[in-house]
Structures are given as C-alpha cells and as structure tokens.
Structure 1
Amino acid sequence: MVLTDTHTHLYYETLADKRAELMERCISNNINRLFLPNVDMASVPLLFDLVHAYPDQCFAMLGLHPCSVKENWEQELNQIEASHQQNKIVAIGEIGIDLYWDKTFLKEQIEAFRRQINWAKSLKLPIVIHCRDAFNEVYEVLQQEQDADLRGIFHCFAGTLEQAEKITALGFYLGIGGVVTYKNAGLDKIIPQIDLRHIVLETDSPYLTPVPFRGKPNESSYLIYIAQKVAELHQTDVETVANITTENSKQLFGI
C-alpha cells in the first residue's frame, strides 16, 4: 500500500533531526509520496532543500500563493519562475484566489492566477488551486482558460456537492484533507457521493490537522487518518482508498 500526500508544507521544519523524524513517521505509515507547494520566493529554497534531501519521496511544485500577491507580485513571480530553470517541478502551485483575509488585491490575484495558469500550460504541467471564499471568482477564470492542457487539483476542498460536481466536470481532482474528519464540516455528507476516481488525499501540514490530533501541528504522517475517514465514508478499506488516490496522483503528476 502506498499513500500519497498531494499537498504538504513539510519543508517548514528546517531542523534536520526533526525533519528526519517527520519523514520516518511518513514512511512507517506507507506515505511514500509527498508533493510540496511553495507559497512565495522565500519558501523556494526551503522546499528544494527538502526535495534534494529526499528525492525519492518528495516532489516540488512552484507558484505564488494568492495571500502572497501584493503590490510587487510581478517581481516576486518573476523570481519564482526563474528558480524553475535550475530545478525540476511537477506542478504549478499553490495558486488561486483568497478573499478570506483581504479583498484589497483581488484584481492582482486574478491576474497572477491567470498568468500562472498559462505558465502551467506552457510547461504542460497541472495546477494546484488554493480557493478560499472565492469559488465563483476561481471558477470563472477556469471556465475562461479551459482547454485540453488545463488540469489539476482543487486543494483543500470543503465546498458543496454542486461545487464538487462543477470542479470534477472540468477534469480537476478534489484535494481532501483533515477537514473531512471534522464533525460539523459537512464533508461526511458529500464525500460518499463523489467517486474515488475524482479524489486525491492531502494534509496541508502543518495546517488543518485531522482528528484525533486537531489543535496540534499537522504532519504528513497523519494522512493515514484522512484515508481511514474517506474509506469509512465510502464503506471500503484503506488499501482501496490508497490505491485509487495514489493512482489518481500518478495520472495527474506523471510520476
């Protein structure tokens, strides 16, 4: 059995000993594939340091997080794009629109999102979307940019069944994380209605820690609890969930 964490910021742990412990716990829980998105230029060297330390388990994605889109976003994105020249990446992300904290830079967020979509298309890579309080805005851009090269993951999905169906109709996977274990989140009603072929698993560590560790820092080894919950909701076993969601990730990322 192989589990795949399609979205983790494990590189935030910079102490080698603690990082090694995190990786050891992943491997002991059969989580052997970790996909890492950066958020800004400052996080790029941290990400690649981890990827270079664990090249068989960790895979890099690059993008400018919508919360990092400010007045100087074009300069920041230029630097991120340039860092790709020396390093292999498997996706563009995480990118998108976030209107939860601040709506000041909505116009710039949309511009940055669209530019990075086109960057992904030019490289024939998938995108990993961050969307918070901005489903309509994100969906409108995706509809406008839709073509045979547009594909990816709707990271941290916590929306409605109607939204899930719109996303999967575009050919995107739903990234299901710790929220599925939260009692009042509502995903327990939606996930059983979504075929596993539309789902990938993620932790978004160190955020969105699943039950039974909610309230503590998240880590990729906790993906097992997310897989167990999805298996329970689909009335199947963890190995089936692992096999299908890992195969989905292979189809998407090509590795």
Structure 2
Amino acid sequence: MILTDTHTHQYYSPEDASERAQAIQRAFDNGVSRLFLPNVDSATIPQVFQLATQFPSNCFPMLGLHPCSVKDDFELELHHIRTAIDSNRIYAIGEIGIDLYWDKTHIEQQKQAFKTQIHWAKDLNLPIVIHCRDAFDEILEILEQEKDEKLRGIFHCFTGTIEQAKHVIDLNFYLGIGGVVTYKNAGLDKVVQQVDPKHIVLETDSPYLTPVPFRGKPNESSYLVHVAQKVADLHQMEIEKLAKITTENSKSIFGV
C-alpha cells in the first residue's frame, strides 16, 4: 500500500535532525512513502530542499508565499521565491491563497500575491495548492477570473460544504482531505461521503490538524493512515483501494 501525503510541514518541527528522520521513517513504515513539502516564505525554502535532497524518491518540494506571510514587503518575498523556483525543480506552486482569519490588514496584497503566483503556475505548467481560511468567496472570485485549461491544483485542507466542494471540483481542483474528517462534530465526514474519491487527495498538514486518535498531539505524516481509513470507511471500501485511488490522483496532479 502506498499513501501520499500531499501537504506536510513536518520538516519544521522537531528541529532535531535525528527526530525528524525518525518521524519520516515512521511515515514510511505506515506506507506513507510520498511526501509533498510546501514552504511558507523565503526563509523556509532551505528546509524544503534539504529533505528533498535527503529523500529524493520520497520528498517533493513545492514553493510559494503563504498568505499569512504576505506583508508590506511581499513583492520582495515573491522575488526571492521566484528566484528559487527558477533554479530548482518543484512540483507545485503553494501553498498560496487568502487567509482572513488572523488578519485582514493585507487583504489586497494577499489577492495580488495570489494572482501573481497563479500566473507563475500557468507559465510553468504547474498546479497550485490553495490555502483558504474565511475567504472562500474571495478565492472563488479570483479562480473564476483566472479559469482556463491551465488552472488546476488542490484545494488544501478543504472543510467546506458539498456545494462548495462541487464548485471546487468544477474548477478542476482536487479536495485535500486531512485530519478534520475524523473529528466527530466537524461535519466534513458527511461532505466527503458524497464526493467520489477520484476527486480527493489525502494530506496531514502536519504538525497541525492531527487526526483522531492522536488529536491534541503534534501531527506527523505517519498518521495519514488514520485519515485514509476514515475516508475508506465513508466510502465502504478497503483502505488499500482508497490509497491507490488517492495516490493516482496525486500523480495526476503533480506529474510524479
């Protein structure tokens, strides 16, 4: 069984290299042998490529400017990130998008950065990985404006309604499903149950959004098996079949 974690930040924490290597080995031991790694800003780019170099058959870099890192100097940040993209192989632009949960101060800059990076992805024929928090309408407005045959990707950490899920799928995006699907009162399980697995990829967003039964502890990619089991149960299929479908989906979107 091969599981793909399409979104993991676990290279940030723990800082200790040996502990980090042990966490990655635990993922491999649980069948999670494909890890896609987003940075958040220019300062975190080296950590992405360090793991990609250490585990070239398992760790795949993605680069972008996280919306929570969009500040007054965002254009300089974008320049540094674009320079790294032009000199390295990456598999997606992300995570990018709009986040209005923490701070609405830089909403216009977030929109501008999002559009700029969408254009990068189109120019480079790469998918985008979207971060959306309290900004579904704002994200959809931009995606509708940018919609064409090149626009594609993953709606990371999807927690919306079935109507929103259908809209995202119609825009040629996969739904990134993580630990929230295991939470009793989140309601995401009822949505996922109505979505064909051919539109789903799995993720942890580790060290965040830890699935049951480890909720309350730092997340790690090895726990993806619990997300996979929950989604498989919702669709009344064996976990091995769900793993195959979602891994094939990840190969389709990332090209690897």
Relative to the length of structure 2, the TM-score reads 0.98
* 1:214 partner letter: R
Structure 2 residue runs of 5 or longer lacking an equivalent are none
In 1, distance between residues paired with 2:231 and 2:44? 31
In 1, distance between residues paired with 2:217 and 2:48? 22
Residue 74 of structure 1 aligns to a residue in which SS? Answer: helix
Residue 213 of structure 2 aligns to a residue in which SS? Answer: coil
1:104-123 matches, within 5 Å, as 104-123=105-124
Structure 1 residue 46: deviation in Å?
1.0
Structure 1 residue 207: deviation in Å?
0.3
| 1:189 paired residue number | 190
Percent of matched pairs sharing the same residue: 65
Residue 11 of structure 1 aligns to a residue in which SS? Answer: coil
Query: Does 2:245 correspond to 1:244?
Result: yes
In 1, distance between residues paired with 2:95 and 2:190? 27
In 1, distance between residues paired with 2:220 and 2:187? 23
Structure 1 residue 30: deviation in Å?
0.6
| 1:22 paired residue number | 23
In 2, distance between residues paired with 1:85 and 1:118? 14
| 1:43 paired residue number | 44
1:53-202 matches, within 5 Å, as 53-202=54-203
Structure 1 residue 82: deviation in Å?
0.4
* 1:181 partner letter: T
Q: Which one is further off, 26-35 or 78-87?
A: 78-87
In 2, distance between residues paired with 1:24 and 1:106? 39
In 2, distance between residues paired with 1:23 and 1:208? 18
| 1:12 paired residue number | 12
* 2:4 partner letter: T
* 1:87 partner letter: N
Structure 1 residue 85: deviation in Å?
2.6
In 1, distance between residues paired with 2:27 and 2:214? 15
In 1, distance between residues paired with 2:88 and 2:214? 34
In 2, distance between residues paired with 1:122 and 1:86? 15
Residue 43 of structure 2 aligns to a residue in which SS? Answer: coil
In 2, distance between residues paired with 1:188 and 1:93? 25
In 1, distance between residues paired with 2:71 and 2:50? 26
Residue 241 of structure 1 aligns to a residue in which SS? Answer: helix
Residue 142 of structure 1 aligns to a residue in which SS? Answer: helix
Structure 1 residue runs of 5 or longer lacking an equivalent are none
| 1:225 paired residue number | 226
Displacement over 4 Å in runs of 4+: none
In 2, distance between residues paired with 1:56 and 1:16? 19
Relative to the length of structure 1, the TM-score reads 0.99
| 1:2 paired residue number | 2
Structure 1 residue 86: deviation in Å?
2.6
In 1, distance between residues paired with 2:40 and 2:242? 29
Aligned length: 255
In 2, distance between residues paired with 1:85 and 1:131? 26
Q: Which one is further off, 115-124 or 85-94?
A: 85-94
Residue 12 of structure 1 aligns to a residue in which SS? Answer: coil
